[in-house]
Structure formats: structure tokens, C-alpha cells
Chains A and B, each alone.
Chain A
């Protein structure tokens, strides 16, 4: 029996509506609570001036293993996760081979266990090989540990397939995570379609491509009673549709990737492939709508959309470069810059979007500090000032447009199952 005391921090746990300075006691792998005898603790972690909150939960992260170990592995990806304050991540199935069968899901769980850094929950494929045609063996994937289903960055374009998938997953009470973009409208596009794409002569990806599929997914969720979670919402119109759907009681949830709040399509003027993401950075009016959506609860969660890509693949001509940027280690300071500092969200509101809400979406018993819960805890220094240096990141990849940014806010200590798995500065 080992007791750890986290002393004197500002404990923020939205799952219990808690925001107060105090002590938090852990015994072995579980949280005991705020009451306890400080002198009996085996280990004391001083949290003065820090925020103590549930470890962050990321809705979808590319861990790239098996198949793309040059981009990332379970080892490097989970190292990046804890460095960013995450204690649980759900990993995308677009590996090679794709996680569309039970054995593949079990491999993910085993590998994460062997590495032993943070919790990893496999996302199973919706369709075989992520090809968008036939349903994958969803029942067996559930048995293998899959918590939800997605075809990763491939939109489930065929509406009949999406319909059947929503009906089928209803049996298992698991959501479908879709990347809503109409493929034929964005074909060949590299950035948001607007004045900047005209200026730069780059093929655009219109906002309507996302708006149309968001509308479709809402209608199908309503019709089937299935649960859909919309990944990486980036347009004003999508936010409006989701707001109306929720007020009608449709079972839809949504997230935003924090990097979509930090840059506009103007960033593409540098032709830097590190600005090439899907969905793309959009214009300010879309960002304003996303922030409104976060404030009024239309958007439930914030994710990293972590997409590591090896340098030799990413740093080439803009048309040929694959979409995606890393996100685990940049998320927290970007949230501080885009949401906390301008006063759009309070810390408890932000923490909710990173803990209890993503946890509920995936049906996990995480994202909480209540008594008896797993001791997955993140200590945040909300005023730590530092500079992003991608070469120092734990991820195996460096593809980010935020290198050199001077930022505030950092995960100081990250505890998973009662063990300290990350201390900043080490």
C-alpha cells in the first residue's frame, strides 16, 4: 500500500464541479480523495501554484504502429502524449495493416501495455481496410478492446454504408467517429478555398465540403438513433447545424482540433507544407464561430488531431506533401493562447473539454478525480513560459507550423495509475 499526496494545488475536476485549492490523496493505483493525513503519505508532490486535474483524454491520435514506424511508434507516441498532459489516448486504425479485426486491436492493447506509459484505447475501423465499402467485424473488434469506430481521415462517403454502420454500432453502444468532408469537392485541394487560395494559385477545399457531410451525418444519426461524433469541425455552418441538431435531441457530438483556432488560411502564404492540414486552416469568421461553439457547449471536446509524418515525406512540394501536423505536445499552450488568455473559456471549462467530455464520448471511465477512480492525473503550470522547439519534442516526427512560438502553460507532472510517468524538464 503506497499513499501519494499531491499537495496544495488548485484541484479542477469538472466531473464533480470541483474547483478549489487543496490536497489530493492517491493510494496505489486509485484516487482516494481530498481528505487524508498528510504525514502518513509515502510520497509528497508539491502542487503549489499548479492546477491539478484529471489526465487529458485525446479522442484520436495517430500512433502509426504497425506499418508507419518511421512516423511514430506506440513508444514515441505515448511519450509525446504524457509530455502533453495526456493519460489516455484513442488511436486511429489507419495503420498497416488496418485495425479492422480483433487481432489487430489486441496488438494495440498489448503494445501499449508493454510500453507502459499511458492508456491506449484502440479505435476500430468502420469498414474493412478503411475502404468505405463493407462493414468491418465491429462486434469482434469490441471484444478485442475497440472503444469506438472510425475510418480515420477517410470520410465515410457512401451514405448507405454510413447508415448501416450507425445502425450496427447501436448494438454495442459505441459511436462512429467520422471525418466529415465530401471527397469530390476537396479532390486535389491543399488549403481552404477563399481569397487566399485565389491569391496563391493553390487548389481550395471549400467549407461547404464539410458542411454538407455534417448535415448528412446529423440526418442519418437522427434517422437511425445511432451515435455520431464529428471529428475536427472547422466551419461556421457546421457549428450552426450541430447546435440545431443538439437542441432537437439528436445523438451527435463534436470536437475541434486546437490548431484550427491558432492559425488562419493566411499561414499558407509561406507555402510551408507544415501548414497543410485536413480540414485546412480557415478564415477568421470560421474561427470565431468555433470559439462560440466551444463557449456554448455545441462543441464538446478539444483534440490534438496528432498526425506525425516523417520529415522526408512531409518536406517537399506543397501539392505532394501529405496532410497533417503533430499535436500532442503543442495542444495545451495553444489552448491557453487561443482560449484562456483571451477569456473565451475558464480553466474549468477548458479542462472539461479535455477530460470528462472526451471520456464520455468514448464511453470511458476516465477524465475524473472522484474517489475510487484510476489515478490518472495531470499537474499543469498555467503560467510556465517556454518556446516550442520541435527538435526537443518526444514525438518521432517534427511536422508542426508552431516551431519557435513563445507560449504559456505546460504539463509539469503526469501520473498514470498512480505512477509518475512524466516530469517536465527531464
Chain B
């Protein structure tokens, strides 16, 4: 086990935040700091340095009040790769059923020596609520339909890795934008890095006024494909059909599904992303999902790197705060 991360603690860092709640409040430099750190971890991993000791002795808690296997596993592995200890909390088997409040649950876990918390919750703003009441660093793993910053960061990282600088690239987000935290975080991140963003989906699933965020709106996927460098296919939730958002899966797939004939009409080097889990045959056909344009599996690997970067940077801030306090002490 080796570490090549000899960070000079007195050197100014581009990252100074205690929490990562979303991409709305970050600037381009901060986003780039995370991407660069993830790239560094990926480089180290390629050189065989998969286990680093940067977070040795630190306890990271996963507070997942919404079910998730993939994201939770990704965060757990990220923490372990940095030699942190992890603790998992899932809503089902918990004191919540005994009536304990959300904040009390988090506060009790913090009291056990947890300094970093990864929080997923169905209610927008829930992680923010914790930053007001707790001292631990809070990382938002998805709060309702509000933001999912690490997902957008790994999407952007994957685009940068394959297509270089985001400036001037056209990225299309396709699907249920209205209910998507992934879409919102992606819009913030992509716009800050200078990309052109198009959102595309049924009119019932695109919120009014979204143009005010600087994105273009389209309901015609075929129309935008010739200009699209990267396409990110959001998962469509079947329950929305019962909510009268669209008539059937078949109709959705017909109008907005990424299939072979659409790939042929798209730009030759179009990059296909999807946050997963994917519904084969709905947002994307197996041929496209497994084909040469798809970077879906790379996204998963990159997700691990991004989450390591986020945990690392949040921990750095906490350490810097302690150092300054120790040095300062008048």
C-alpha cells in the first residue's frame, strides 16, 4: 500500500468548501479541481496504486434514506480505496421506524466519530438541513429532484476524457428532465464549463422556464442529433405513465429512444452516456448500449474516481480548517 499524495498542506487549494451539496454553487475552477483530482486518482490506479492512505483513520458514513445499491456501493468503494472506514445506514432497518427524526439520526451517527457523511434523501434540501445542524462534512448523493452532483461530475469527466475541453461542445440531455436531479446538476456543471446544452423530451416532462438556465429545449430528438456531440440518456420511470406524463413505454421509445437508426443519423463520433440503470429497449437499445459510441461502463469506473476525489477534497478542507485553528489560536 503506497501513497503518492504528498500534498503540501500550506499550498493554496482551488477547493475550500466543507460540503458538496450541488453544482449550482460551484464555479468552473472548483469543478475543474474535482475533475483534475479524479484524473490523478485514475492515473494512480492505472499504475497499480489502487489503495491510498489519504483517509486512513477517517470514518465515512453512508446515510441513504432512499434505496440505492449502485451509488452506495460506489461511495463505499471510494472510501475504502482511500483507506477510510465506512458505516452504512439505510432507512429500512433504522430508528426512523421508531419515530426518530432525520436530523437526530444523522446527529447520533456523527456522535460516533463520523466526520464525512454521504447523504441520499427523497426530499430536496435534506442534506442542506444537515449542514446547519451538524459539524461533519456533507456530500449530497441525491436529494429528491434537486441535485446529484457526483453523477453530473462523472458524466462531465467522461466527456472531458473522451472529447477534451467542454467549451463549445453540444451536449443533449434526453428524457424526464422534470423529475431529474441528474439533469439539473448536469445543466449547472456543463453551463459553467462552457458547453451548449439542449434538453429533449416530451413536453410534459420538461419544466416551464428551464430556458432561463441557459439551455435550449427540443421535443424532436431526430432534429437535434446532427448537432449533438454527446448525448446523455436519462432513465424514464414507468410510474410516470400512470401519472399521465406520457401514454406508453412504446411511444416514448419510439420518439425518444436511442436506437441503431438514430445512431446512423447522428454525428459520426457522437458519445453516448447514460446514468444507469438503463432500461434496454426503452431509452436505449442493446446495440447502442453495448456499441462503440457508448461510454456507459466507463462512467461507472469514473464514478468511483470522482467520488474518491470528492471525499478526498472535503476531507482536505476539514484538515485545513483544523490546521488553521491550531496555528491561529490567540
Judged by a CB distance under 8 angstroms, whether A194 is at the interface is yes
B297 smallest CB distance to A (angstroms): 28
Judged by a CB distance under 8 angstroms, whether B155 is at the interface is no
Bound-complex Cα distance A237 to B190 (A): 37
User: Which residues of B sit under 8 angstroms from A199, Cβ to Cβ?
Assistant: 24, 184, 213
Given contacts A271-B128, A319-B122, A320-B123, contact A200 B102 (CB under 8 A): no
Judged by a CB distance under 8 angstroms, whether B33 is at the interface is no
Among A197, A198, A201, A202, chain B packs the most CB atoms within 10 A around the CB of A201
Bound-complex Cα distance A194 to B209 (A): 7
Bound-complex Cα distance A301 to B213 (A): 39
State which of A83-91, A150-158, A310-318 sits at the interface with chain B: A310-318
B89 smallest CB distance to A (angstroms): 16
User: Which residues of A sit under 8 angstroms from B209, Cβ to Cβ?
Assistant: 194-195, 198
Judged by a CB distance under 8 angstroms, whether B208 is at the interface is yes
Using C-beta atoms within 8 Å of the partner chain, give the interface range for chain A.
Answer: 10 to 19
Interface SS of A by simple majority:
loop
| Interface size of B in residues (CB-CB distance below 8 Å) | 25
State which of B139-147, B227-235, B252-260, B314-322 sits at the interface with chain A: B139-147
Asked if A200 contacts B146 (CB within 8 A), the reply is: yes
25 pairs from A and B in contact (CB 8 Å cutoff): A195-B212, A197-B207, A198-B208, A198-B210, A199-B213, A200-B124, A201-B145, A202-B146, A271-B124, A271-B125, A271-B128, A312-B101, A316-B101, A317-B121, A317-B125, A317-B129, A318-B123, A318-B124, A318-B125, A318-B126, A319-B122, A319-B123, A319-B124, A319-B144, A320-B123
Q: Add 5 more A-B contacts to A193-B208, A202-B146 (CB < 8 A).
A: A197-B207, A201-B146, A316-B101, A318-B123, A318-B125
User: What 8 A-B pairs are tightest by C-beta distance, nearest first?
Assistant: A271-B125, A201-B146, A317-B123, A201-B145, A198-B207, A319-B123, A195-B209, A201-B124
Write out, one digit per residue, whether chain A residues 309-345 have a CB within 8 A of any chain B CB (1) or not (0): 0001001111110000000000000000000000000
User: Which residues of A sit under 8 angstroms from B122, Cβ to Cβ?
Assistant: 319
Asked if A317 contacts B102 (CB within 8 A), the reply is: yes
A266 smallest CB distance to B (angstroms): 13
User: Which residues of A sit under 8 angstroms from B124, Cβ to Cβ?
Assistant: 200-202, 271, 318-319
Bound-complex Cα distance A199 to B144 (A): 12
User: Which residues of A sit under 8 angstroms from B207, Cβ to Cβ?
Assistant: 197-198
Given contacts A195-B212, A312-B101, contact A201 B144 (CB under 8 A): yes
A357 smallest CB distance to B (angstroms): 36
User: Which residues of B sit under 8 angstroms from A193, Cβ to Cβ?
Assistant: 208
Interface residues of B in 95-123 (CB under 8 A from A): 101-103, 121-123
- Partner of A201 from the list B101, B103, B181 (CB cut-off 8 Å) is B181
The residue of chain A having its C-beta at the shortest distance from the C-beta of B188 within the complex is A199
User: Which residues of A sit under 8 angstroms from B147, Cβ to Cβ?
Assistant: 201
A157 smallest CB distance to B (angstroms): 19
Question: B residues engaging A (CB < 8 A)?
Answer: 24, 101-103, 121-126, 128-129, 143-147, 181, 184, 207-210, 212-213
The residue of chain A having its C-beta at the shortest distance from the C-beta of B212 within the complex is A195
B176 smallest CB distance to A (angstroms): 12
The residue of chain B having its C-beta at the shortest distance from the C-beta of A268 within the complex is B125
A135 smallest CB distance to B (angstroms): 33
Bound-complex Cα distance A318 to B145 (A): 13
Asked if B123 contacts A201 (CB within 8 A), the reply is: no
User: Which residues of B sit under 8 angstroms from A312, Cβ to Cβ?
Assistant: 101
User: Which residues of B sit under 8 angstroms from A271, Cβ to Cβ?
Assistant: 124-125, 128-129
Asked if A201 contacts B128 (CB within 8 A), the reply is: no
Bound-complex Cα distance A315 to B129 (A): 10
Bound-complex Cα distance A37 to B273 (A): 88
User: Which residues of B sit under 8 angstroms from A316, Cβ to Cβ?
Assistant: 101-103
Bound-complex Cα distance A326 to B28 (A): 42
Write out, one digit per residue, whether chain A residues 286-327 have a CB within 8 A of any chain B CB (1) or not (0): 000000000000000000000000001001111110000000
User: Which residues of B sit under 8 angstroms from A201, Cβ to Cβ?
Assistant: 124, 143-147, 181, 184
Bound-complex Cα distance A271 to B126 (A): 8
User: Which residues of B sit under 8 angstroms from A197, Cβ to Cβ?
Assistant: 207
User: Which residues of A sit under 8 angstroms from B208, Cβ to Cβ?
Assistant: 193-195, 198
Bound-complex Cα distance A197 to B124 (A): 11
The residue of chain A having its C-beta at the shortest distance from the C-beta of B99 within the complex is A312
Among A195, A203, A271, A319, chain B packs the most CB atoms within 10 A around the CB of A271
User: Which residues of B sit under 8 angstroms from A315, Cβ to Cβ?
Assistant: 103
A103 smallest CB distance to B (angstroms): 33
Write out, one digit per residue, whether chain A residues 366-402 have a CB within 8 A of any chain B CB (1) or not (0): 0000000000000000000000000000000000000
Bound-complex Cα distance A315 to B130 (A): 12
User: Which residues of A sit under 8 angstroms from B101, Cβ to Cβ?
Assistant: 312, 316
The residue of chain A having its C-beta at the shortest distance from the C-beta of B147 within the complex is A201
Bound-complex Cα distance A343 to B330 (A): 52
The residue of chain A having its C-beta at the shortest distance from the C-beta of B207 within the complex is A198
B170 smallest CB distance to A (angstroms): 22
Bound-complex Cα distance A318 to B123 (A): 6
User: Which residues of B sit under 8 angstroms from A202, Cβ to Cβ?
Assistant: 124, 144-146
The residue of chain A having its C-beta at the shortest distance from the C-beta of B127 within the complex is A271
User: Which residues of A sit under 8 angstroms from B129, Cβ to Cβ?
Assistant: 271, 317
User: Which residues of B sit under 8 angstroms from A200, Cβ to Cβ?
Assistant: 124-125, 146
User: Which residues of A sit under 8 angstroms from B103, Cβ to Cβ?
Assistant: 315-316
Bound-complex Cα distance A199 to B143 (A): 13
Bound-complex Cα distance A3 to B212 (A): 65
User: Which residues of B sit under 8 angstroms from A195, Cβ to Cβ?
Assistant: 208-209, 212
The residue of chain A having its C-beta at the shortest distance from the C-beta of B208 within the complex is A198
A142 smallest CB distance to B (angstroms): 42
User: Which residues of B sit under 8 angstroms from A320, Cβ to Cβ?
Assistant: 123
Bound-complex Cα distance A4 to B167 (A): 78
Bound-complex Cα distance A195 to B212 (A): 8
User: Which residues of B sit under 8 angstroms from A198, Cβ to Cβ?
Assistant: 207-210
Bound-complex Cα distance A315 to B213 (A): 30
Bound-complex Cα distance A296 to B6 (A): 71
Write out, one digit per residue, whether chain A residues 181-203 have a CB within 8 A of any chain B CB (1) or not (0): 00000000000011101111111
A264 smallest CB distance to B (angstroms): 15
B265 smallest CB distance to A (angstroms): 31
Bound-complex Cα distance A194 to B212 (A): 11
User: Which residues of B sit under 8 angstroms from A194, Cβ to Cβ?
Assistant: 208-209
The residue of chain A having its C-beta at the shortest distance from the C-beta of B24 within the complex is A199
Bound-complex Cα distance A198 to B215 (A): 13
A312 smallest CB distance to B (angstroms): 7
Bound-complex Cα distance A199 to B24 (A): 9
Bound-complex Cα distance A95 to B145 (A): 34
A88 smallest CB distance to B (angstroms): 38
Bound-complex Cα distance A316 to B105 (A): 12
Interface residues of A in 199-214 (CB under 8 A from B): 199-203
